[in-house]
Chains A and B, each alone.
Chain A
Amino acid sequence: MKFVKLIFWRLLAGIGVLWGAATITFLALNLTSGDPAIAILGGPDALPTPEVIAQVRKDYGLDQPLAVQYVQYLARLASGDLGESYRLKIPVVEAIAPLVAPTMSLAFCAALTAVIMSIVIALLTAKRAAWLRSLVSGTELVLTSAPSFVLGIGLLLVFAFHLHLFPVAGSQGWRSMVLPVMTLAIPATAMLTQVLRQELEDVLDQPFITMARARGLSETGVRLKHALRHALTSLITLSGFMFAFLLGGAVITENLFARQGLGRLMVEATTNSDVPIVLGVTLLAALIYVLINLVVDVLNAIVDPRIAVHS
């Protein structure tokens, strides 16, 4: 019950965020991308005649005042109509929809892998021997700063070309997922682990940890039952951010591994000035951000009961 109120307010705020994103994309479309009519007709290279341009303007409502266009645009969005792709000549929704699942599953698997690996590594290395800590955190630092294409090519060389464990490219079956997921998950793990270990070490210095030990709780028990829960709140918040970051990372990774997905669609749309597709993906990203933050807030309220009690 206490979560219902929380979810309601967060959703309301989320609608505000989506409206903001829609407005900014609208302005971006009208202020920066040149004449949309020309883009619709295949770009300046297509050499459209002024009559054709005028006809397109009329058809797409581009001859209306900006304010009217804005209201019409919002009304279309509200009914789920994102417009039509300039190049593919199909509705944006139809272009995007089949690709949402592959990209989301790639990002989700990467985020889940990163969260699980970072929890395990942080639990094993927090407050342990100094040499172990500096070895692990040094490795993490290198992996956090490694560009994902370098990491991806490295993984391809070793696991695909030499060991032939996983396919080099494609979107077929779980085996094709492994290397792209790891390419995304490894730097994310390194970053999450560093934060999580710091949190764990801070918590392990608290008096209630000493009290738990004084009750006879084992080191593993202390870490799993007391310390981890405290460290989880920052992990959850960070993972939300991380998931969004991974969606962005998917753009590069999908191209590298020649996978079907939003990332590739986005790259193609950008190179071809297919503005409606770019806008559609941007709005989708905003929607995903809103939903992720909602999940993060609810999870945090579950892990830290003080949030629900005091807010």
Chain B
Amino acid sequence: MSQIPPLVEVENLQVAFRNGPQVVKGVSFSVNRGECLALIGESGSGKSVTSRTLVGLTGHGSRLAADRLRFGGEDLLGASERRWRSIRGGRVGFVMQDALGSLDPLRTVGDEVAETLKLHTDLTKAQRTARVIELLASVGVPEPEVRARQLPSQLSGGLRQRALIASAIACAPQLLIADEPTTALDAAVQAQVLRLLENLRTPDNAMLVVSHDFAVVSRLADRIAVMRHGEIVEQGTAEQILHDPRHPYTQGLLAAAASLHSTALRRPTTAPPRMAIGRTGLTSHVIEAKGLSKAFKGPDARKRTAVSDVSFDLRFGETLGLVGESGSGKTTATRLVLGLETPDAGVVRLRGRAWGELSEANRRIERKRIQVVFQDPLGSFDPRYTVERVLGEALDVAGYRPGARRRARAVELLEMVRLDESFLTRRPIELSGGQRQRVAIARALAPQPEVLVCDEPVSALDVSVQVQILDLLGELKERLGLACIFISHDLGVVRRVSDRIAVMKGGQIVESGPTAEVFGAPRHEYTRELLAAIPQLKTRAEALHA
């Protein structure tokens, strides 16, 4: 039997951007029919660009060279735009992450899926409509007839991602490229979409998955190629890469991923208990929230309950992990705690005093005791400010006047977050994601808070950087005796930092308790579901056995 050539053959691929650095430097790989190859790497590794060369969409001003770039035996080097158009959507399906809206917000979901059919088939309009509904049903969209007529903004993130996949597989492509297909999704939804992608595999088609997340990749891939700085540092079977990585970079990435997904608990906080004098005498709670409820008016003027009867407390120096999927009320609960929203019912006490008892002037003083670190620090910095000005502004509030003393304190703050004086003159845009988050932490520490609220502080970061930031936060909390409310949808991350956990669903706390208890013996059905949805570092074979 003659050997069938691989579906995709790439040899010594080079991609550079005009006036820019080379982003892909001599990458070679192949994908066989019936196979799934994963390109894994951190941001800037060139993995997305590499995958896009297979649909000819490397973008404006990119230059491409390769010894070989073949798809289905056809040479793609120097293919005409017309050839590319017949390949895109027809023979190669492409799916991106939903984060910023991969579906046209002005067109119905059905129109978007139908677009592929319109371009590559001779189906009539009525046939296309029927096929769109079949496709949406096949990717697990409930009520496909209704959904097809809705706008992307009326669908949840998970449904949008499914619709996007439907538009990519509409013409049964031989190759499906999925670029971070689950990155913007909650854990449970992520698990569902991964299952869907698994089910889409057949012996005839191939899949190329691009991801930063070993847990996503391990579930799908037969083979894994690890990319770094535009090169493949190591490739092999999923089993070999996951269990016997040869390259130190792969080993490091896996160690970081494993430590986030590990079941090991952090050691409990050892800081001595502190007390404050509250209105009703001594209190060991820096924050007490009792029976909080809050509803908002929706776009259709109906009231929607965001948070209902939520109670929790936070002792000095303790970390409370707030877990839940998007829309579970975590953010509203936090805004109530910060005194940014007034609850419809219930009370929040800071050091024994309720927000409601304070005048706005006094609230402003009290607010300094609680500082926030957000997911996307870039959005919370003025892009024209230097780091010195960012910190200076925060120190201004803390009572430091401009001068040598303020500058010294700024340097001190930078050193706390393991940066140095040289960062003072840099601007947020020039910093990496991890450095930016460190500056955001330094800014939060400027007024010497007692409570740090961390709202998804590592969700936008690469895994190895996540570990570094979490370690830094742990160390700072210990050293400064900070209490912390840690909000995340990622249970691995929450488990790593929290003393106690509260699980939120539909605006309520469904379960709370010490971390070991909640993770070891979850009582509520929902907690068990969440735990089951954590992606595991297991190959396909291992997952099937388990």
Contact = CB atoms under 8 A, between A and B. Distances in A.
Interface stretch (B97-105, B303-311, B403-411): B97-105
B60 A127 contact: yes
B115 interface: yes
A256 B94 CA distance: 59
Interface in B94-119: 94, 96, 99-107, 112, 115-116, 119
A216 B57 CA distance: 11
Nearest to B94: A214
B494 to A, nearest CB: 29
Given A127-B60, A309-B151, A310-B299, A211 B119 contact: no
Given A127-B60, A211-B94, A230-B106, A218 B85 contact: yes
Interface residues of B, number: 34
8 contacts: A207-B99, A207-B100, A211-B96, A214-B57, A216-B85, A216-B88, A218-B81, A305-B151
B86 A214 contact: no
A216 B90 contact: yes
Contacts of A311: 299
A304 interface: yes
A215 B102 contact: no
Residue from A216, A225, A303 whose CB has the most chain B CB atoms within 10 Å: A216
Interface string B68-92: 0000000000000100011111100
Nearest to B91: A216
B88 A208 contact: no
A49 interface: no
Given A215-B167, A306-B105, A311-B299, 4 more contacts: A211-B103, A216-B85, A217-B115, A226-B107
A215 B115 contact: yes
A218 B80 CA distance: 12
Given A309-B154, A310-B299, A216 B104 contact: no
B55 interface: yes
B102 A216 contact: no
Contacts of B167: 211, 215
Given A211-B94, A216-B90, A217-B119, A206 B106 contact: no
Given A206-B101, A303-B106, A214 B154 contact: no
Interface string A200-226: 000000111011111111110000011
B537 interface: no
Given A214-B88, A217-B119, A208 B101 contact: yes
B151 A215 contact: no
Contacts of B99: 207
A305 B106 contact: yes
Given A211-B96, A213-B88, A306-B153, A229 B106 contact: yes
Contacts of A309: 151, 153-154, 299
Contacts of B86: 216
A300 to B, nearest CB: 11
Contacts of B106: 229-230, 303-306
Interface in A265-309: 303-306, 309
Contacts of A207: 96, 99-102
Contact of A214 (B89, B104, B105): B89
The 9 closest A-B pairs by CB, nearest first: A216-B89, A214-B94, A215-B89, A216-B88, A215-B116, A207-B102, A208-B104, A216-B119, A216-B85
Contacts of A218: 81, 85
Nearest to A230: B106
B229 interface: no
A143 B115 CA distance: 40
Describe A's contact surface by its main secondary structure.
helix
Interface string A93-120: 0000000000000000000000000000
Interface string B104-147: 11110000100110011000000000000000000000000000
A227 to B, nearest CB: 9
B220 interface: no
A214 B178 CA distance: 12
Contacts of A304: 106
B164 interface: yes
Which of A214, A225, A226, A305 has the largest number of chain B CB atoms within 10 A?
Answer: A214
Given A216-B89, A306-B105, A306-B106, A210 B96 contact: yes
A213 B59 CA distance: 11
Contacts of A310: 153, 299
A305 B109 CA distance: 13
B168 interface: yes
A229 B111 CA distance: 14
Contacts of B105: 208, 306
Contact of B55 (A214, A219, A226): A214
B116 A216 contact: yes
Given A229-B106, A303-B106, A212 B115 contact: yes
Nearest to A127: B60
Nearest to B170: A215
Nearest to A232: B106
Contacts of A211: 94, 96, 102-103, 112, 164, 167
A127 B105 CA distance: 21
A214 B105 CA distance: 17
Contact of A208 (B90, B102, B153): B102
B484 to A, nearest CB: 34
B101 A216 contact: no
Contacts of B104: 208, 212, 226
B151 A210 contact: no
Contacts of B100: 206-207
A133 B116 CA distance: 32
Contacts of A225: 115
A297 to B, nearest CB: 17
B57 A213 contact: yes
A190 to B, nearest CB: 26
A208 B164 CA distance: 10
Contacts of B55: 214
Contacts of B120: 216
A305 B116 CA distance: 22
Contacts of B103: 208, 211
A91 to B, nearest CB: 47
A305 B81 CA distance: 33
A124 to B, nearest CB: 17
Interface string B449-467: 0000000000000000000
A211 B93 CA distance: 10
Interface in A145-201: none
A244 B99 CA distance: 40
Contacts of A230: 106
Q: Which of A208, A215, A304, A310 has the most CB of B within 10 A?
A: A215
Nearest to A227: B104
A206 B100 CA distance: 8
Contacts of B60: 127
Contacts of A206: 100-101
Nearest to B117: A215
Nearest to B106: A229
Contacts of A219: 81
Interface string A1-33: 000000000000000000000000000000000
Interface in B374-403: none
Nearest to A211: B102
A299 to B, nearest CB: 13
Nearest to B177: A214
Contacts of A306: 105-106, 151, 153
Indicate the member of A211, A306, A309 with the most B CB atoms within 10 Å. Answer: A211
Contacts of A229: 106-107
